[in-house]
Amino acid sequence: MNGKQMLRRGAVLGFGFIALAGCGGPDAVINDPELGNVEQGILVSTNGSFELNSIGASNYVVLSAGSTALPGWTITAGIKVMKNTYKTPQNGVQSIDLNGLGAGSLYQDVPTVVGGGYTVTFYVSNSPNCATVSRSATINYGPSSASFSNASASWGLRTYVFNATSTTSRITLTSTSGGVGCGLAIDNLQVNGP
């Protein structure tokens, strides 16, 4: 391409650099950012904001292992469901504390496609009464796991990516802050994939 062709196509030459005068011209190619094997778009998790069942009328309710009060979730060790009168949720009117009366845990099995890429996102904050104390937990997501912690009352986004190895993938959140009644608050958990 010669200089006249470049000028006709909207390019400007100056100081030894080429600057595009108009983005998105006839020769423009838009490339999406590379996300590995992860495809976005289809939500495969349910009740990630813990809203499908309005639980209790008080500031929070402790749910014990085996409780079926949170549709889509299996509780394996006690957690709290917190109302917006107790802790402002990131989304909706309820969030959870991974510590009920001690370290708690819950999981959800989501449908996946073997080899498909999935992204797990959720928001984490500290619960009232331990707003500035570091609390920690683990997440198991498909074939992977990670630890995370927080020492702030503000909501922060966490993101994890995995490739499914089976037609069902388990997402498990487990508090590792034992012996205390307040832990990490979780809200707006989503698993998205192809």
Query: Any idea where the domains of the chain sit in the sequence?
Result: 1-30, 42-193
pLDDT of residue 11: 42
Sign of the Cα pseudo-torsion (147, 49, 33, 42, in order): positive
pLDDT of residue 107: 99
Q: What is the pTM of this model?
A: 0.79
pLDDT of residue 20: 40
Write out pLDDT tens, residues 23-45.
Answer: 444 444 444 433 445 556 899 99
pLDDT of residue 16: 44
Specify the CATH superfamily of domain 42-193.
Galactose-binding domain-like (2.60.120.260)
pLDDT of residue 17: 40
pLDDT of residue 192: 98
pLDDT of residue 73: 99
DSSP codes, the chain = --HHHHHHTTEEEETTEEEESSTT-TT----PPP-TTB---EE----TTS-SS---SSSEEEE-TT---STT-EEEE-EEEEETTTS--SSSSEEEESBSSSB-EEEEEEE--TT-EEEEEEEEEEPTT-TTS-EEEEEEETTEEEEEEE--SS-EEEEEEEE-SSSEEEEEEEE--TT-S--EEEEEEEEEE-
**Which residues in the chain come in under a pLDDT of 50?**
1, 3-36
pLDDT of residue 15: 42
pLDDT of residue 27: 45
Going by C-alpha positions, the residue among 101, 99, 103, 154 that lies closest to residue 124 is: 154
